[in-house]
Amino acid sequence: MVFSSAIFILVFLPIVFALNYFIKSEYSNIFLLIASLLFYAWGEPMFIFLMLVIIVINWSIGIAICKAKGKLKNLIFIAGVICDLGILGYYKYAIFFVSTINNILGKNIIAEPEIALPIGISFFTFQAISYIADVYNKKTSASHNPVNVALYISFFPQLIAGPIVRYRDINAQIESRTITWQNVALGYKRFIYGLAKKVLISNVLGLCVDTIYSYDLDIIDTQAAWIFALAYTLQIYYDFSGYSDMAIGLGKMFGFNIPENFDYPYLSKSISEFWRRWHISLGVWFKEYVYIPLGGNRKGNLRTYINLFIVFFLTGLWHGAEFSFIIWGLYHGFFSIIERLGLKKFLDKSKLFSSLYCFIIVIFGWVFFRADNTLTAVRYIVRMVMPWRHTDLNLELWTYADNKTFFVGICGIIGMGVLKSIIPCRISDRWRNSVPESVYCVILLFLCLAAITSNTYNPFIYFQF
C-alpha cells in the first residue's frame, strides 16, 4: 500500500485515525502496531514474518546488552549487528554478490539465487541497528516492552521509505503522547503538500523520464539526454521529499514528531552542504554509526579522507546492489574530499558559481543513479557534454514531453527553493495557517485525488531501497 493511493487516503487512513483517536491511550501502541503490520502485509504478506523475526531479535538483543557486562556485552552487540546486516545482505545483496563472482570468473560457478527484495528493508534494518547501538552506547535504555520496540521498527508512516528515526528521539512519544487537533491539522496539511509533490509533480516528470529511457540509446540526442537528467533530478526530489512530508504529516496526526529529512538540497553551494540537506536522516545515521566510530576527522587528514571514502561507498551500496549506485556514492565522496582539500575556499568566493557547480554535479550524479548500469549512464553523459558527436540525431521533443511536462517542470524548479528564497518572511508567515492556505490545500487534495483515480502511473523510487 502506498500513501498516494485511493485505498490509503480514503479507507485505511480515516479508519486507522478514527479508531486510534477513540480507543484508550494505553491500547494505542498495540493498535498502531497491528495497523502497521497490516499496512506492510498489504503489499508484502510473506515478509511480515521476516519483520517480526527482526523485531524479536533486536528486542532480545537490547535486553541482553543491558544485562551483560564486559566482553560478553560486546559479543552480544556484535552478534546483533551481524544478524541485522546478514538479513539485509542476504535479501538485498546475495544476487549481486553471486553475479559479480561469476562475472569475474567468466562463467557461472554459482547459481544465482531467486530472492525477492522486501520493500523498505534497508530503512527498518537501519532503525533496528540504531536501536541496539544506542542501547550498547548507553544513549537510551532498552525497552522491556516488546510492543514499543515493534512499533518503533514498524510504524507505518516511515516504515517503507523513512525518515530513519533513532529510538532515543522517539521513545518518549511511544510511551506517552497527546493528539491535539492543532497537530492533526498541521499534519494533514503537511501530508497534502507531500501528496501534491508526489502526484502532481514527480509522477508527471517520471513519465517523461521513463519514456526517454525506454528508447534505444542510439537515437537519444543531446536535448533528450539533458531533459532526461533534469526531469529525473526534479522527479527524485519531489518523489522522496514528498514521501517524507507525508510521513512527517502522518506522524503528527498520530502524536509523533518525525524528524525532517530534506532542507531544499538543490540550493546547496557544495556537495558537503548538499548531504546536510538531502536525506538528512541517512546522513545522520552514517555519521553517528559509521563515520564517528571510524574516527571521524579526529585522526588527521588522511584518515578523514579514508573515512569519507568508506561512508560514501556504503551510502552508494545502501541504495542498491548495482555498481552504478556504488559509483554514484564514490562520485559524491570524491567531490566532498576535494572540497575539503581546498575547493570549498574557492567556492565560497562566489555564491552564484558555487550554486551552479553543486547543481550540475548533482545532476550528473543522478544519471548514474537512474541508469540500470554504468555503461548506460556514461553514454547518457557523453551525449550531455559532447553534443557535436550527435548532431545527426533528431528525436522529436513531442514524443516524450508535452506542454504539461514543461509546465510541471517549471513549477518544480520554482518549488525546489527558488520561491522560498525570494519571498519575504513576513509574507510567508502570513500565508502559513491562513484561510487562503487552507483553501489551497483543499484544491491540491482534490487535484491529487483526481490524478490518482485517472492515472495508473504511480511509482515510488525509494521503495526499492
Give the residue numbers marked as catalytic: 319
Please tell me the distance from the alpha carbon of residue 362 to that of residue 377, in angstroms, as a whole number: 14
Angle (nearest 5°) at CA 372 between 382 and 196: 100
Please tell me the distance from the alpha carbon of residue 189 to that of residue 31, in angstroms, as a whole number: 24
Strands, E, within 25-64: which ranges?
Answer: none
Asked if residue 317 lies in contact with residue 325, where contact means CB atoms within 8 angstroms, the answer is yes
Closest CA to 156 of 250, 286, 293, 60: 250
Q: Tell me if residue 344 falls in helix, strand or coil.
A: helix
Look at the block and give the residue holding cell 558527436: 389
C-alpha cell recorded at residue 334: 570524491
Closest CA to 289 of 464, 462, 117, 85: 85
Please tell me the distance from the alpha carbon of residue 264 to that of residue 275, in angstroms, as a whole number: 11
Over the range 321-337, which residues count as b (16 or more CB within 10 Å of their CB) and which as e?
bbbbbbbbbbbbbebbb
Asked if residue 146 lies in contact with residue 55, where contact means CB atoms within 8 angstroms, the answer is yes
Please tell me the distance from the alpha carbon of residue 96 to that of residue 191, in angstroms, as a whole number: 36
Closest CA to 236 of 281, 213, 266, 260: 266
Closest CA to 146 of 174, 170, 118, 109: 174
Asked if residue 217 lies in contact with residue 393, where contact means CB atoms within 8 angstroms, the answer is no
Cβ atoms within 10 Å of 444's Cβ, excluding its own: 18
| C-alpha dist (Å) from residue 463 to 59, 244, 269, 416, 460 | 25, 12, 29, 22, 6
Please tell me the distance from the alpha carbon of residue 292 to that of residue 247, in angstroms, as a whole number: 28
C-alpha cell recorded at residue 408: 510541471
Asked if residue 43 lies in contact with residue 119, where contact means CB atoms within 8 angstroms, the answer is yes
Closest CA to 122 of 76, 71, 160: 160
Please tell me the distance from the alpha carbon of residue 170 to that of residue 122, in angstroms, as a whole number: 19
